């Protein structure tokens, strides 16, 4: 995956996810509250226009995050930690994609809402994986960035992403559970956009600079 394409995909993921939860929320009836109701409600079987969240916010966004992860894999290779971090980001994208496949039965505002079907249970399980991957990816990639001279200026912002997510959740929990979830998720996608910009700026220079012995071999040839 070329670095430029992967970087653009990461930036688009930031746009598609945020547009989906905002537009999906506006499509719901007045009883639905962005501050109090869950994002996943937007893709429920009973939701109004669930395709906005399922196909744009989950399926498309997940594919874009996977493509970003593939670009980072290539840019950070052959570093093992870099590859692990990129793989976790890819896993996050895959899990996000399945958010739009496994739907809840109903929204929290729906009467007698139980969400006890197999796909509702699957949604809850894979949402847990999505959350875990979204917190692990910045931490692992922060370690990889710190080891790589070309990416070293990106490791501190990446390491601070998880504390920023926690802070956003705590601060916006005063507004409501829905607001807290959205705030934390927006921070994650802001980090994805940050890494995407860095990838566009750096391309594959990190991998080129880390090739051992290239400069020494060139000087030796010149001296002959």
Q: How far is CA 129 from CA 41, 133, 212, in A?
A: 18, 6, 37
Parts of the chain with a pLDDT under 50: 206, 208, 210-224
Q: Can you tell me the distance from the alpha carbon of 192 to that of 18, in angstroms, rounded to the nearest whole number?
A: 13
Residue ranges covered by each domain of the chain: 3-223
For residue 205, the model assigns a pLDDT of: 55
Instruction: Give yes or no for a contact between 130 and 95, defined as CB atoms under 8 angstroms apart.
Output: yes
For 83-128, what is each residue's pLDDT tens digit?
A: 999 999 999 999 999 999 999 999 989 888 888 899 999 999 999 9
- Count of Cβ atoms closer than 10 Å to residue 223 Cβ: 6
Q: Model pTM greater than 0.85?
A: yes
């Amino acid at each position: 995956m070329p670095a430029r394409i992967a970087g653009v995909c990461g930036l688009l993921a930031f746009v598609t996810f945020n547009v989906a939860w905002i537009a999906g929320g506006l499509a719901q009836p007045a009883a639905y509250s962005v501050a109090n109701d869950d994002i996943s409600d937007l893709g429920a079987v009973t939701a109004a226009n669930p395709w906005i969240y399922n196909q744009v916010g989950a399926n498309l966004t997940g594919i874009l995050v996977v493509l970003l992860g593939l670009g980072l894999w290539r840019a950070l290779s052959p570093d093992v930690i870099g590859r692990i971090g990129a793989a976790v980001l890819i896993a996050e994208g895959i899990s996000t994609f399945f958010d739009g496949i496994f739907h809840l039965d109903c929204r929290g505002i729906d009467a007698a809402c139980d969400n006890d079907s197999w796909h509702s249970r699957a949604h809850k399980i894979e949402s847990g994986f999505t959350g875990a991957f979204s917190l692990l990816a910045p931490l692992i990639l922060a370690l990889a960035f710190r080891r790589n001279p070309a990416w070293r200026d990106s490791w501190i912002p990446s390491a601070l992403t998880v504390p920023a997510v926690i802070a956003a959740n705590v601060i916006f929990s005063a507004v409501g559970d829905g607001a807290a979830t959205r705030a934390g998720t927006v921070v994650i996608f802001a980090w994805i956009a940050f890494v995407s910009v860095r990838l566009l700026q750096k391309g594959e220079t990190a991998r080129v600079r880390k090739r051992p012995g290239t400069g020494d071999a060139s000087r030796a040839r010149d001296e002959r």
